[in-house]
Structure 1
Amino acid sequence: MQTEHVPSRPHQPAGPSHPPPPSGIGRFAEWASARENRGFADYDELWRWSVGDVARFWEAVWEYYGIRSHAPYESVLVSAEMPGASWFPGARLNYAEHVLGDEDAPERVAIIARSQTVGPVEMTFGELRDAVARARTGLRRLGVGPGDRVAAYLPNIPETVVALLATASLGAIWTSCAPEFGTRGIVDRFAQVDPEVLLVVSGYHHGTKAIDRRQEVARIRAGLPSVRHVVHVPYGSEPLPDTMAWDELLVDSEPLTFVPVPFDHPLWILFSSGTTGLPKPIVHGHGGILLEQLKVHDLSFDVRPGDRFLWFTTTAWTMWNTLVSALLRRAAIVLFDGNPLWPDLGAQWELVLPQGRPPAGRAVRPVPPASARRHRFAPARRGVRLDPRTVRRRRHAQLDQRWNGRVRRVPGGQPLAGRGAG
């Protein structure tokens, strides 16, 4: 079985005369140059190759990251027509197998969770593997198998990550929404996919406010006749009647294995916002998401083993799935659940600034070390209080200006490999 390919970074002595280590996209460009027996003069040339010869590019991505397939693919791309394109037919793999990897570094931190409902939680890759093995065993005991649907009415907490990976390991299909959604928003989504298992919380805290979700859970259950089992995840809230406790689901453990599935086998179902009619289900497959997320986290985000990756999101947004996928790079994912503005704007900075919160009354302006890979923020004017509407208008204008400039600099408005297996 192949291990993940992470090209080594040579030692770089400190000092202005020595360039920094190459970025993820730089390492890939060097490797691809040797593979293709050609040079890539700059980003634009690499981008043109990625969208001009999509089959060759995605085959390179497959090789570069050492994808583990339990059966070889017959070809890379059968047809480029959309809809109807077929990628890597014959391959059989599993997204969760790549996320959890081998037990080569079980003590490496995988999850750092902070919440306004419960205390801080950290999990190593070894602990994550054990929890997924237990959740997988519990789901199998409930009759979950390939193609079955598991739905989650859960916040951004470690148990949600565990349940997703356990579901994926079985070849079952995952879908999730955040508990701040009301009954109609949940039923409109989940009723379209007929889940067999529903995971829920009965409440949570948003800042200092306790949110009770027991009535919503009862209505959701009534609106989903396909649900055969409801699992209650304790999250600082009261137990729910006629449910299986999370601890009961995890009581037994079998060896962690992964069901090999076809490249395009459904992994999870996301939903559109529902602004025009019912929310539209969007299905992502094991293979496409695996290749796309490896590419995004390495080539776009430059996430490296041992990094810590935070994206403020809820489980109803696709960025939660992207957050989880940073585990593919052996980075620790930082989960945050609660009010991002409580008790003030400095709350999330405690997670990202080594020196902690900015002093009270001071502008939120991080001063990172020279080696840090962070965006710069302009300082606010001291002692001036602006109307919130004025702040929003100015912020939107800044974003529009940056976005328009960025589009003009990228050929055709396309990101690297903007079309393809993802």
Structure 2
Amino acid sequence: MSKQPRAGGEEILECQVMWEPDGKKNTQMDRFRAAVGAACGLALENYDDLYHWSVESYSDFWAKFWKFSGIIFSRMYDEVVDTSKGIADVPEWFRGSRLNYAENLLRHEENDKVALYAAREGEEEIVKVTFEELRQQVALFAAAMRKMGVKQGDRVVGYLPNGVHAVEAMLAAASIGAIWSSTSPDFGVNGTLIQHLKEHILHGNMNSSDTLLYYTTVGWMMWNWMVSALATGAALVLYDGSPLVPTPNVLWDLVDRLGITILGTGAKWLAVLEEKDLKPMETHSLQTLHTVLSTGSPLKAQSYDYVCRCIKSSVLLGSISGGTDIISCFMGQNFSVPVYRGEIQARNLGMAVEAWNEEGKAVWGESGELVCTKPIPCQPTHFWNDENGSKYRKAYFSRFPGVWAHGDYCRINPKTGGIVMLGRSDGTLNPNGVRFGSSEIYNIVEAFEEVMDSLCVPQYNKDGEERVLLFLKMASGHAFGPDLVKSIRSAIRRGLSARHVPSVILETKGIPYTLNGKKVEVAVKQVIAGKAVEHRGAFSNPDTLDLYRDIPELRDF
């Protein structure tokens, strides 16, 4: 079996091991590896062997996992995927199959087992819903939707807090065959079930004895990811509120109260706890907790130290990374390999992920563009209102023809197989995992008569953390000042959310544009990062780029 090269150009320092598998080799990943080896006559000695087989023989991999996961279907597929087609061709997966997403999530046979716990900020009461009760409520929701005329292919949007009704409505819509969205209509749908099962069962080693709390809103992709865990028989804890109110220990309180085994959150929350010098290890039992997951932004190396030192030394700290586009992960937690300080453990099975340089060549131990070179069942099939697919192709395949470019920079360690995320490589804003476009900010800011023009770009620090910067070009006769900044912050918070509010708002005397009238965001981001900008001749006012170089207010991030 051929393997990708392990040599890299940059020196890779020896990484500190923070967690290691117990050596029993009795995880669901181990059982799957053994089953594949026996069925295919392969000597798959470790996760690395299994991973490389899964991306080289991806059709066989997904077929084997379909069987292993026990997916419920009414019609078996005729073909897993046409392997003559590449990822840019968006091949059809599991052609001819028929299944129901909701049926698979509600398949757990222990009717009296709790499926959902719902907790709200500042309230003592916790609502419990069993699997039987959840099935009944989903049926009632679905009947009501059908009575309203909802049918297969219709769109159902939920404007709901993270509670029981959100899960019931989502599963009801899915049971009908309607398309569910939760205020963010950019989630992929094809292949979501099998992809999530792979991540929960194999990578998370999740089963019916687990209780999962992922701190998320209904509008974040991680909510959809979390709800899919019902298919394993695990219980979900739905928390509606701030993770810092009434105290910064509110989630740890729930861990002890409900016996939570898997806690998921954003990297920023862990950093905030460290800043507050919280030590849950000293104030809580955390006896049931075996996994802490982090996503939304790169997890700083010092956060690994903090979790080990102040939360629980034996916990698996799984930094996971993927995207709203695929509504899942390219890489993440893994009970079969060690956790190294500052690194995501491994690339996920079936995800042919590499880091490519500007010439379109894979690099190891060097920073590069995160790409996926082979088809995956969870990629979006198309964009709405993009009849000829031009926007879709531009979004993912314009950088490297025929290869998915995800818009992230990363570095793959050739010694450990771990991945370090280095931030966004395009102009998309993604602070703390809340992904949005600059146009959302412009629509609000440029409604102010004081503002002639504006520019919204990200800035990254050495740890890969992102913050949003907003530059304002003032209209004639108006001055930049703290009152205007306060008004703009309030307008963005009111019109979008608190998470959209830029960290820094500054005045600028000029905003660069291309010759065809587009704001130049990516080039400004490069200038702020101290990088040279090529092809300045493509800009109508290239001298304005220099206004963004070495700005004093941006030096200490």
TM-score, normalization by structure 2: 0.46
Partners of 2:170 and 2:180 within 8 A in 1: yes
SS at match of 1:72: coil
Structure 1 residues 101 and 370, CA, compared in 2 at 3 Å: closer, same or farther? Answer: closer
Partners of 1:150 and 1:167 within 8 A in 2: yes
SS at match of 1:299: helix
**Residue 349 of structure 1: CA displacement?**
0.4
Distance 2:212 2:26 in 1: 19
1:282 aligns with 2:215: no
- Which residue of structure 2 lines up, in the alignment, with residue 415 of structure 1? 348
- Which residue of structure 1 lines up, in the alignment, with residue 70 of structure 2? 66
**Residue 105 of structure 1: CA displacement?**
1.4
Give the partner amino acid of 1:101.
R
Structure 1 residues 379 and 371, CA, compared in 2 at 3 Å: closer, same or farther? Answer: closer
**Residue 53 of structure 1: CA displacement?**
0.7
Distance 2:28 2:102 in 1: 23
SS at match of 1:314: coil
Structure 1 residues 368 and 40, CA, compared in 2 at 3 Å: closer, same or farther? Answer: farther
Count of matched residue pairs: 274
Partners of 1:47 and 1:417 within 8 A in 2: yes
**Residue 417 of structure 1: CA displacement?**
1.9
Distance 1:284 1:131 in 2: 23
1:373 aligns with 2:290: yes
Partners of 2:181 and 2:187 within 8 A in 1: no
Distance 2:176 2:54 in 1: 33
- Which residue of structure 2 lines up, in the alignment, with residue 406 of structure 1? 343
User: What CA deviation, in whole Å up to 9, does each residue of 1:63-83 have, x standing for no partner?
Assistant: 111222222211111243223
Return the structure number with greater relative CO, CA threshold 8 A, min gap 6: 1
1:292 aligns with 2:210: no
SS at match of 2:377: coil
SS at match of 1:328: helix
Alignment of 1:219-298 (within 5 A): 270-271=184-185, 281-285=186-190, 288-298=191-201
SS at match of 2:110: coil
Give the partner amino acid of 2:127.
V
Structure 1 residues 117 and 152, CA, compared in 2 at 3 Å: closer, same or farther? Answer: farther
Alignment of 1:30-45 (within 5 A): 30-45=34-49
Give the partner amino acid of 2:107.
G
Larger Rg: 2
1:24 aligns with 2:24: no
1:339 aligns with 2:265: no
- Which residue of structure 2 lines up, in the alignment, with residue 115 of structure 1? 120
- Which residue of structure 2 lines up, in the alignment, with residue 318 of structure 1? 221
SS at match of 2:79: coil
Give the partner amino acid of 2:150.
V
Compute the RMSD of aligned alpha carbons: 2.9
Distance 2:217 2:158 in 1: 12
Distance 1:371 1:39 in 2: 35
**Residue 415 of structure 1: CA displacement?**
2.6
Distance 2:116 2:126 in 1: 11
Partners of 1:365 and 1:377 within 8 A in 2: no
**Residue 368 of structure 1: CA displacement?**
6.2
User: What CA deviation, in whole Å up to 9, does each residue of 1:352-403 have, x standing for no partner?
Assistant: 13699xxx996222676888523543239xxxxxxxxxxxxxxxxxxxxx99
User: What percentage of aligned pairs have identical amino acids?
Assistant: 34
Distance 1:296 1:128 in 2: 23
Distance 1:78 1:100 in 2: 31
Distance 2:43 2:62 in 1: 18
Distance 2:308 2:31 in 1: 28
Structure 1 residues 172 and 361, CA, compared in 2 at 3 Å: closer, same or farther? Answer: closer
Partners of 1:368 and 1:374 within 8 A in 2: no
Give the partner amino acid of 2:51.
W
Structure 1 residues 355 and 135, CA, compared in 2 at 3 Å: closer, same or farther? Answer: closer
SS at match of 1:93: coil
Give the partner amino acid of 2:38.
A
Q: Which runs of 5+ in 2 are unaligned?
A: 1-21, 260-275, 293-306, 312-338, 353-375, 379-557
Partners of 2:116 and 2:237 within 8 A in 1: yes
- Which residue of structure 1 lines up, in the alignment, with residue 110 of structure 2? 105
TM-score, normalization by structure 1: 0.60
User: What CA deviation, in whole Å up to 9, does each residue of 1:201-225 have, x standing for no partner?
Assistant: xxxxxxxxxxxxxxxxxxxxxxxxx
Structure 1 residues 313 and 110, CA, compared in 2 at 3 Å: closer, same or farther? Answer: same
User: What CA deviation, in whole Å up to 9, does each residue of 1:219-246 have, x standing for no partner?
Assistant: xxxxxxxxxxxxxxxxxxxxxxxxxxxx
Partners of 2:256 and 2:286 within 8 A in 1: no
Partners of 1:110 and 1:330 within 8 A in 2: yes
Q: Which moved more, 1:366-375 or 1:106-115?
A: 366-375
Q: Which runs of 5+ in 1 are unaligned?
A: 1-17, 178-269, 272-280, 381-401
Give the partner amino acid of 1:374.
T
Structure 1 residues 320 and 93, CA, compared in 2 at 3 Å: closer, same or farther? Answer: same
Give the partner amino acid of 1:282.
F
- Which residue of structure 2 lines up, in the alignment, with residue 352 of structure 1? 255
Partners of 1:25 and 1:302 within 8 A in 2: yes
Alignment of 1:184-203 (within 5 A): none
